[in-house]
Structures are given as C-alpha cells and as structure tokens.
Copies of this chain bind each other. A is one copy, B any other.
Amino acid sequence: MAKELKELTKRADNYSQWYNDLVVKADLAEQSAVRGCMVIKPYGYAIWEKMQQQLDKMFKETGAQNAYFPLLIPKSFLSREAEHVEGFAKECAVVTHYRLRAKEDKSGVEVDPAAKLEEELIVRPTSETIIWNTYKNWIHSWRDLPLMCNQWCNVMRWEMRTRPFLRTSEFLWQEGHTAHATKEEAEQEAQKMLAVYAKFAEEWMAVPVLQGVKSETERFAGALDTYTIEAMMQDGKALQSGTSHFLGQNFAKAFDVTYLNKENKPEYVWATSWGVSTRLIGALIMTHSDDNGLVLPPKLAPIQVVIVPISKGDDLKHISERLQPVIDELRSKGISVKYDDSDNKRPGFKFADYELKGVPVRLVMGARDLENGTIEVMRRDTLEKETHSIDGIAQHVEQLLEDIQKNIFEKARSWRDSRVYECDNYEEFKERVKDGGFFLCHWDGTAETEAKIKEETQATIRCVPFAYEQTPGIDMVSGKPSKARVIIARSY
C-alpha cells in the first residue's frame, strides 16, 4: 500500500488529526508562510471552481449580478453601524502605510514613516459598509429596486486558532448584498437565498443540512435575523455552512440610503446579505470521507472517472486502443475522465492515490479483460468492485455516478438523522453532548441560559429549525416556559 495511505490517521483514533492529514495528503491545501493563511492547491481549488460555477448559476437565476467592490475599507466606515464594528474591529488586518524604504544599513526594507495614511484602511472582513456606501449613489427611486449584487472575493478575519478551510484568516467566499423597497421583500430574499444554499448543499455537495434561524447572540453583527444551514460532521459536531442575513434598515440608515417610493416620498431601503465560503470544502471533506481518504460527490469531483490500464508493451497498446472509444463516449456525456497510463508508478500506488483523492469511479483493464471484453469497475463510496462488459460501460458509469451521488447523500442523511435527539433533561444533555449530535431542546429565549449552556458544555444554540413541528414546553436549564425547541450542539 502506498506510503501516503499508511500515514493517514484513522478517524476513530483522532478525528481532528484525520481531517488535518487528509487536507494535506489529498493535495487540497497547506499552511502558508503567513500566519493563519492557507495555500489552496490545484486539486482543492478545482473543487472550489466547480462549486463556484454551480452557485454562480443559481445566484444569477434569482436575478443577482456580479460586481466588484474595493478590498480596503476606510476605518470610519466600520464604525457607522454600531454592532457591526463591535463584531469585526477585534479581528481585522489594518493598513497604516503605503510605502516601504530601504533600511540605512541596506539589510532590507522597513516601513517608511513618511508614508503614513491619514485614515487607516481595513482589509475587508465583509463588505456591507463599502457596498452600502456605494449603493447610496445607485439607488434613487423605487425603479432602482431591487438591487442585487454578488461578489466573489477574498476576505480577512484575524482568527487566533485556524484550521484549513474551516477557519482561516484569509478565505475565499461570495457575498451577496441586496436592497429592497419593503421589509417583506427583503425577508423573502434572505430566506430564498438560504433555500438556494440548502439546495446546493444537498443536491450538489450531497451534504444534508438543517435550515433555521439563529439566536440573537449568534446573529451576524448588524443583522436583525440570521438564517443558517447547519450540517453535521462525522464526529457529530455542527458546521455552519452558509448564512443569509435580514439586515433591516440598519445599513441603509448608517449610510443614508433612501429611495423615493411611488408616492414620491423618501424611505430607507431594506437590506440582506448572504454568503458561503471555502469552508464548504471542509464540510464536503468531513461529511463523506473515510479512513482511505476523500469521498467526493460526483457532481463536484474534478476527476469523475479514472481509467487505469494494467499492462505493458503491445498489450498496453491494444488496451489503450480498446479504451479510447470508451473515453470519448464518457467525455461526450460531459464526464471528466483521467486516463492514467503513466509508467513511473505501480498500479497499487495509483489505486491508493485515486482513493485518497476521492475519485468516484475507477475503471481498470488488464490483458485478460481485453480478451474477455470486460472491465473492472470500482465505486469509491462503497469500495465495491464488479466486472462489467465493456459494451455499454459508458452508460453504466453514467448511471453509477448518479447512484453514488444519491447514495452518499442518503448515507449522510440517515447517519445525521440517527443523531438528532429530543432532550428535556439538562444532566442527560451534558453527558450525551460530549459524543456529538444535534439536541432538540426547549429554550427560554434568554441570553443567560444560552451562555450557561455554552460555558458548561461548550455547546451552542445552532438555530431554531424551520422543519420541526413546535409545541411549547419547559427550558431544561432554567425551568422557565419555552415557545420552541432549538438545536444545540458542539460546533466548528
């Protein structure tokens, strides 16, 4: 077995180490020389490109358009919205100078004190402020609404503890920012975009998610409501995978953005923002992968099918000739195929490497297969092998890719469902939450109770789930009345 695989930590031994190992060994990303910032390697970036492509299509179908706003935000902009600055000022990269100069002793360069900025600039942690400052000039009348822009970009939050994809100082994301004439329309937009995220997570990433609304404590800084999709990782922890915010008129008021309504009277605009990031790659890895490596959903796999011929010399030539029409047919179906006839690696190494990289389907053909008109098919999700006639193999693979996509979603969903518990006893909760899972518990709605749970169990309120029939009850911690159950879990 290949060296890399031997070294991959087992999930049961150390789940966290398994994840860190896998990210590096599957060539997805690595730490950079800059604290908390990662390098996204070509294989990892190819997954992000596939995600972007699909999400971008879905956003445009809702009427959103892409645009680009500046990386640097004047310090004073952050302060305009009180909660926003509170939420982001503590973890931002600050540009104070615009020039370096040679040191006197020529040993390198230093900041040129003469090139100090009058006002410091912040590397955007999110762009509400600079965008609403721009929207002020774009919005005059009800005819200019709704205004729906999205940008794909990098953002920076000075995180103290970072992990590749899950939490990094710099990350890539998209941020949608919309402006509407009415409160209702803005609320609908925020929920519509959450539904887009949920659809993408489930149908493309094959990651089941629960949709819900955040508690006040967990809201985005400056939002009136934050909607979230929460996925469950294989250690039972929650991963917030996408959020959509109803911002009310907070940013419109902070940046004085009004429009003339149909009665020609000025009104403040209503806002939303919504985003997903490279964190989704972390969700993808942790939902499906196993001790052999990545398991990628076919719809997002950079390589969907790998074909390995096992032979040499003339036999190899004949096998290649027999396989060429198969490769052509697969590609004509829009399936991405890698034909690996490289002779500097043994088949066993190749097999282990493509398993590690999560390629959904592997086809292998040797001299005997050629004779028999057969090909060996392995699916990465179950590691099951079968021998298939080479006739009709392309159609079989096409169907298999669909099956794998469905299967890994169903597997993740039934696994998740078996770990969602109703719980009414705090002592029991404290014990069981250590093993992970989503706990549906009554909550009295106070920040005090929320803080107590967090302090005593490291678990947080993930959301009030939408798809749950609520009945009133009693808060398990405070004993006070509760209107609804919330999902409580430990999280990333």
Q: Which of A120-128, A392-400, A428-436 lines the interface with chain B?
A: A120-128
B100 engages A75 (CB within 8 Å): yes
B85 engages A109 (CB within 8 Å): yes
Interfacial residues of chain A within 62-112, with CB under 8 A of chain B in the complex: 65-79, 85, 89-102, 108-111
Which of chain B's residues has its CB closest to A153's CB?
A: B154
A133 adjacent to chain B (CB < 8 Å)? yes
Bound: A327/B390 CA distance, A:
43
B100 engages A90 (CB within 8 Å): yes
Interfacial residues of chain A within 245-297, with CB under 8 A of chain B in the complex: none
Which of chain B's residues has its CB closest to A134's CB?
A: B39
Bound: A97/B66 CA distance, A:
31
A149 adjacent to chain B (CB < 8 Å)? yes
B85 engages A92 (CB within 8 Å): no
A91 to chain B: which residues have CB within 8 Å? 98-99
Interfacial residues of chain A within 170-210, with CB under 8 A of chain B in the complex: 170, 172
Which of chain B's residues has its CB closest to A133's CB?
A: B33
Range, interface on chain A: 35 or more
Closest beta carbon of chain B to A274's beta carbon, Å: 17
Q: A95-B93, A123-B123, A158-B98 are in contact. Are A72 and B170 (CB under 8 A)?
A: yes
A32 adjacent to chain B (CB < 8 Å)? yes
Which of chain B's residues has its CB closest to A344's CB?
A: B143
B89 engages A101 (CB within 8 Å): yes
A223 adjacent to chain B (CB < 8 Å)? no
Task: Say which residue of B42, B78, B96 sits within 8 Å of A96 (CB atoms).
Answer: B96
A46 to chain B: which residues have CB within 8 Å? 65-66
Closest beta carbon of chain B to A43's beta carbon, Å: 8
A59 adjacent to chain B (CB < 8 Å)? no
Q: A37-B71, A68-B39, A344-B143 are in contact. Are A94 and B98 (CB under 8 A)?
A: yes
A467 adjacent to chain B (CB < 8 Å)? no
Bound: A79/B111 CA distance, A:
13
A58 to chain B: which residues have CB within 8 Å? none
B75 engages A37 (CB within 8 Å): no
Task: Say which residue of B49, B69, B123 sits within 8 Å of A66 (CB atoms).
Answer: B49
Closest beta carbon of chain B to A3's beta carbon, Å: 14
Closest beta carbon of chain B to A53's beta carbon, Å: 10
Task: Say which residue of B34, B74, B99, B120 sits within 8 Å of A121 (CB atoms).
Answer: B34
A67 to chain B: which residues have CB within 8 Å? 39-42, 45
A408 adjacent to chain B (CB < 8 Å)? no
A90 to chain B: which residues have CB within 8 Å? 99-101
A213 adjacent to chain B (CB < 8 Å)? no
A365 adjacent to chain B (CB < 8 Å)? no
Bound: A46/B67 CA distance, A:
8
Bound: A66/B110 CA distance, A:
33
Q: A46-B65, A95-B95, A122-B100 are in contact. Are A72 and B34 (CB under 8 A)?
A: yes
A89 to chain B: which residues have CB within 8 Å? 99-102, 109
Closest beta carbon of chain B to A397's beta carbon, Å: 23
B94 engages A97 (CB within 8 Å): yes
B93 engages A121 (CB within 8 Å): yes
Q: A34-B121, A130-B33 are in contact. Are A92 and B96 (CB under 8 A)?
A: no
A108 engages B344 (CB within 8 Å): no
A156 adjacent to chain B (CB < 8 Å)? yes
A99 engages B34 (CB within 8 Å): no
Task: Say which residue of B42, B71, B95 sits within 8 Å of A65 (CB atoms).
Answer: B42
Q: A39-B134, A42-B67, A172-B68 are in contact. Are A99 and B109 (CB under 8 A)?
A: no
A39 engages B69 (CB within 8 Å): yes
B123 engages A71 (CB within 8 Å): yes
Bound: A48/B149 CA distance, A:
15
Which of chain B's residues has its CB closest to A64's CB?
A: B42
A70 to chain B: which residues have CB within 8 Å? 32-34, 37-39, 170
Bound: A120/B97 CA distance, A:
10
Interface set of A (CB-CB < 8 Å, partner B): 30, 32-34, 37-42, 45-46, 48-49, 65-79, 85, 89-102, 108-111, 120-123, 130, 133-134, 137, 143, 149, 153-154, 156, 158, 170, 172, 344
Known contacts A72-B123, A93-B121; 9 further A-B pairs (Cβ under 8 A): A32-B70, A40-B68, A68-B172, A72-B170, A75-B110, A91-B98, A93-B98, A94-B111, A154-B154
7 A–B contacts, CB within 8 A, in A order: A32-B130, A33-B134, A39-B67, A46-B66, A71-B71, A90-B101, A100-B122
The 4 closest A-B pairs by CB, nearest first: A42-B65, A89-B100, A37-B70, A40-B68
